[in-house]
């Protein structure tokens, strides 16, 4: 499988722990005065990113509904896999081959498992406290790649 073969769909085991995941944000997503992302900006479970293997931060602005004023932050795959609560899943779109969804895992599922898209978890759902901890982990370990301007 060639890395530049855009017909290939990768699985969670193809991600390297130091690969970066890019996510957009808007100026309104920052806490006033402290320039830190609001925790509720990180949706968990399941949120979309771009994979650094096939993307760069500026591509965030080219996505559907993207704006030229959008900012971009990144975090590493190992941070996305925090306490084995979630794992990145390659979910290429026609207009965005790098599209990745960070999907929630149940406690029994390994990091290499690809959870189905939009699955509903009831009894295996992580507690509200754990989901908040997950979001805080992302905010604490993110890097601003592009500043939002509006």
Encode pLDDT of 61-73 as tens digits.
999 889 999 999 9
Average of per-residue pLDDT values in the chain: 90
Residue 73 placed within a domain: yes
Nearest to 135 by CA among 47, 62, 73, 42: 42
pLDDT at 96: 93
**Tens digits of per-residue pLDDT, 86-132?**
999 999 999 999 999 999 999 899 999 999 998 887 655 678 888 89
| C-alpha separations of 131 from 47, 86, 124 in Å | 13, 10, 13
Q: Which two tokens stand for residue 103?
A: 């999907």
Rounded Cα gap, residues 61 and 72, in angstroms = 8
Residue 103 placed within a domain: yes
Residue 2 placed within a domain: no
Residue 14 placed within a domain: no
Residue 8 placed within a domain: no
Residue 3 placed within a domain: no
Domain extent for 87? 21-146
Q: 24 with 67: CB under 8 angstroms? A: no
Q: Which two tokens stand for residue 18?
A: 């130091």
Question: How would residue 2 be classed by pLDDT, with cut points 50, 70 and 90?
Answer: very low
Number of structural domains (the chain) is: 1
- Token look-up 């941070």 returns 79
Residue 7 placed within a domain: no
């Amino acid at each position: 499988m060639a890395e530049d073969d855009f017909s290939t769909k990768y699985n969670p085991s193809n991600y390297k722990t130091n690969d970066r995941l890019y996510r957009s944000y808007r100026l309104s997503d920052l806490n006033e005065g402290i320039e830190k992302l609001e925790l509720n900006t990180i949706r968990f479970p399941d949120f979309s990113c771009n994979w650094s293997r096939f993307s760069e931060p500026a591509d965030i602005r080219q996505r559907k509904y993207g704006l030229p004023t959008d900012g971009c932050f990144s975090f590493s795959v190992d941070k996305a896999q925090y306490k084995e609560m979630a794992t990145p899943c390659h979910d290429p779109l026609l207009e965005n081959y790098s599209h990745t969804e960070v999907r929630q895992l149940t406690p029994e599922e390994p990091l290499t498992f690809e959870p189905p898209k939009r699955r509903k978890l009831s009894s295996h759902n992580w507690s509200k406290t754990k989901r908040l901890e997950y979001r805080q982990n992302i905010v604490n370990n993110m890097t601003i790649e592009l500043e939002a301007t509006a």
